Amino acid sequence: MQTVPQANKAYAIRALLLVFAAVAPLLSILLIGAHLAVAFVPLFVSHLLLLYPTLVANCQWWGPVMTRFRTAEREVWLTIDDGPSPTDTLKILEILKTFDAKATFFVIGERAEKYPHLITEILAQGHALANHTHAHPSWSFWCLGPRRIAREIAACAETLRTTAERPAIYFRAPAGMKNFFVHSALAHRGLLLIGWTVRGLDTIGRDPLRVAERVEKDVVPGAIILLHEGKRTKREADFNPRCVELILQRLTARDYRFVIPNPEHLL
């Protein structure tokens, strides 16, 4: 996990942002007499500084975000969002088995409740589960208040009650966007916020080969790879499983192993 200096730095930045946001209105009032346009500058800058760590994925100004893990081997962590999917999950599990690869499935609570047999199968095959909110409010999660954010995280956490040997201790925000209230809600449940090192952009792409090429180009040992499931295209009904298969083929040929890292190795 992050070192104490890294965590302290993140929380120091968070404190400074909040202090500046509180002081900015006073500065604007003081500057009104000088020039009206100038008076709005502190407010504009403070809002910009609050939005940046919220909307920019992997930004650590609000708190720690794990974006890679420490390893001396050619290892990567494959993470798959938005499941479980009745069209994709079993196919992806079969592909993973073929390559002797392990993955973590960041699942949506509502879908986990709807397809419990897929959750059982993920665990039965030695993979891990992680929290990706209960309803996946991708367009609004970044601006939700503390109670709604806590409910989204808590409801999914309750759905994903797993064994003590394999607890669901990771969380990823929808689209990677998180606001000021997320870290406190995660701390309350002992969850770690997971970002990524490289993503295939498979939610907007249409060509599995392009997705695989993008991941292969940027991958390094200790990388966290972000993929998704449940998307279909006109040309590729098995779009997401095909992306997974191509990435496994290419990285296995380069002697990479797909593992689930220990929490203490996360950075």
pLDDT per position as a tens digit, 202-239: 999 899 999 999 999 999 999 999 999 999 887 888 99
**88 part of the active site:** no
What are 111's two structure tokens?
Answer: 């879908």
Alpha-helix residue ranges (DSSP H) falling in the chain: 4-31, 36-39, 41-55, 89-98, 109-114, 116-124, 146-159, 182-189, 208-218, 239-253
In DSSP terms, which residues pair with 192 in a beta bridge? Answer: 170
Catalytic residue among 132, 134, 183, 228: 228
Catalytic residue among 81, 82, 88, 202: 81
Distance between CA atoms of residues 70 and 1, nearest Å: 9
Q: Which band of pLDDT confidence, cut at 50, 70 and 90, is reported for residue 5?
A: low
pLDDT for 2? 52
pLDDT per position as a tens digit, 164-206: 556 789 999 999 999 999 999 999 999 999 999 999 999 998 9
**81 part of the active site:** yes
CB atoms within 10 A of CB 235: 9
For the chain, the average pLDDT equals 92
pLDDT per position as a tens digit, 76-131: 999 999 999 999 999 999 999 999 999 999 999 999 999 999 999 999 999 999 99
Give residue 7's Cα distance to chain centre: 18
Q: Whole-model pTM above 0.75?
A: yes
CATH 3.20.20.370 fits 75-265, yes or no: yes
Distance between CA atoms of residues 199 and 215, nearest Å: 6
Distance between CA atoms of residues 87 and 111, nearest Å: 12
| Domain regions of the chain by residue span | 4-55, 75-265
